[in-house]
Structure formats: C-alpha cells, structure tokens
Amino acid sequence: MLEHVNHVGPRRTIVQQLSERGVSAEDIDTVLFSHAHWDHSRPISDVFPNAKAYFGPGTRAACQPGHMKDPSLQWDGRFFDPEHSTEKWDELQGEWRPFGPFERALDYFGDGSFWVLDAPGHMPGNMAAAARLQGGEWVMLGSDCCHSRDLLDGLREIAEFQGPGAVSMSLHTDLTSAKDTIAKIRQLETNFGVHTALAHDASWLKQGTDQVLMSLLDSKMRVAAKEKIPFDEIP
C-alpha cells in the first residue's frame, strides 16, 4: 500500500486561476490542446460551456475510436469516439507557414503575436506555441517536445527502453522527428533569443534566473518558486 500519493494538477483549478485574472469560464470560447495525452487534455464541456477544443492535425486518425469503444486504447473516447463523443472539437486548420526553423506554423490571431507550431515527434498532432510579450520578448511553450531542459542543452540524450517484443521505445512515437523538433527549439533560443518553458521541466522555476519567464508568474507562484518548488513540493 502506498503511504503517500501526490495529486496530479494544480491546487487552484483553471477556472479559479482565470477568475483571479478577471476572466470567467463562460468567456472562454477556444481551448488549444498541445496533444491528446491524458495529462495534457481533458473534456471541457463541464468547465467551459461555450468553448470548442482544438488538437493538432493528425490527432483524429491517431486517436479514434478512443477508450470507450476499445478499452485497450489510451485515448479519451469523450473526444474521439465517433458515435458517443461528448465534446465539441476539431483539428486546428488554417494557413500553415514557416516560423523560424519550423516549417509549419499558424499565425493564430493574424497579428504575429501568437504562433501555433506543428512540432512532430512526441505523438501525432503534437503542437507547441510561441507568444510575443508586450515588451517584445518571445516565450516558447514547449509542451512535451522534450521533458527536460538537459535535452535542450545537449547534456543528455532521449532515453530509450525495451518495450513488448524487445522493441526499442521512448517517450516519443517518432524519435527522429522528436530530435529534429528539439533542434529547432534550440535554434529559436540561439538565433532569436526565445525563452522556453517545457511542460514537465521546472528547472527555470527552481533557478529563477530567466527573468522573462519569471515575470509571467503571479504573486502566489512567485512565492511558491522560492518556498516550495526548489524542494520539489507542489505549489
């Protein structure tokens, strides 16, 4: 029996966090999911009643029919079951064009301030994003393009392990494309001064040296960055 089990997710719900910023759940009309893994997407109809969700191109083909029709699948049937889905969603569409080293990017608002990037490798439909702040700095939302800052810095290689049938596996379905995507993020940092935040890496929070990323924290997270996160406590 496990003596200690940590919950998954923030202590404040996304609705609470938005409310603290003066945004109600009813105001949200669009939710962009980086990819379809359970820790990055969930049904939204009960949280954002007026919103439609979007996944990256290729997600539907990779994830249908979902777990309700085939329990061996990890994909949420509430999105991907063609007959019994409960969620309004679609694959993101638009005019895809280059953004730095990325061949396919979508200028989401049409003003160059927020780009959704086709970032293959982790799984079909995986996306990242680049946002321009008011001061002109760029922040890269790296999703699961890689899971550690050490991979971006070239200090480590993506781990591989043996799966069923002694097949070599990793956390990415297409290892070659994942390495290429990591190299492109590295180019954005080196050539364009982009500041990268990865979904599963808290090193920038622990170090506190990237002032651009640190400026994005609210007062509660700034306290947590000093008092909890360096000790691997949940903020």
pLDDT band at 230 (very low <50, low <70, confident <90, very high): confident
Q: Determine the average pLDDT of the residues in 114-122.
A: 99
231 has a pLDDT exceeding 90: no
My answer on whether 12 and 31 are in the same domain is yes
Query: Looking at the domain assignment, is residue 231 inside a domain?
Result: no
CA-closest candidate to residue 115, choices 185, 202, 209: 185
Which long-range contacts does 125-128 make (Cβ < 8 Å, 24+ apart)? 125/35, 125/36, 125/55, 125/56, 125/57, 125/58, 125/59, 125/62, 125/63, 125/91, 126/34, 126/35, 126/56, 127/32, 127/33, 127/34, 127/35, 127/55, 127/56, 127/92, 128/34, 128/181, 128/185
Q: Does 43 share its domain with 135?
A: no
pLDDT category at 63 given cuts 50, 70, 90 is very high
Q: Are residues 105 and 184 in the same domain?
A: yes
Confidence of residue 8 (pLDDT cuts 50, 70, 90): low
pLDDT tens digit sequence for 141-158: 999 999 999 999 999 999
- Does residue 84 sit within a domain? yes
With 60 as the cut, is the pLDDT of residue 1 above it?
no
pTM to 2 decimal places: 0.92
- 117 & 214 share domain: yes
Positive or negative torsion for Cα 90, 30, 40, 133: positive
Distances (CA, A) of 180 to 173, 185, 188, 198: 13, 9, 13, 16
pLDDT at 185: 98
Q: Where are the alpha helices (DSSP H) in the chain?
A: 14-19, 59-63, 77-80, 149-152, 175-192, 203-207, 211-214, 219-227
Provide the mean pLDDT of the chain. Answer: 94
pLDDT digits (tens, 9 = 90+) for 154-188: 999 999 998 888 888 899 999 999 999 999 999 99
* Residue 117 belongs to some domain of the structure: yes
Mean of pLDDT values over 79-95: 96
How much of the chain, in percent, has pLDDT values that exceed 90?
83
What is the residue range of 19's domain?
Answer: 1-93
In the chain, the number of structural domains is 2
